[in-house]
Amino acid sequence: MKSHYIIGLIAIVLLLSLAGCKNAGEVVEDEVSGAATAEKVSEEETAEEVDVKDLIKQLSEEAGLETEEEAEEVTSESAIIVIEYFKGSPEDLNIKAGTTVTWDNQMSYKNIVIILPQREDSNKYETKWINDLVELWVNEEYSYTFEEAGSYKWGSKTKFDKINGIITVTE
Write down the pTM of the prediction: 0.55
Residue 143's φ and ψ, nearest 5 degrees, are: -120, 145
pLDDT digits (tens, 9 = 90+) for 30-86: 444 455 444 444 444 444 455 655 666 666 666 665 544 454 555 568 899 999 888
| Domains observed in the chain | 2-62 (no CATH), 72-170 (2.60.40.420)
Contact 139, 124 (CB under 8 A): no
DSSP secondary structure letter of residue 66: P
pLDDT digits (tens, 9 = 90+) for 75-115: 568 899 999 888 899 999 999 999 999 999 998 888 889 99
Rounded-to-integer distance, Cα 101 and Cα 167, Å: 9
Residues 95-109, buried b or exposed e (16+ Cβ, 10 A)? beeebebebbbebeb
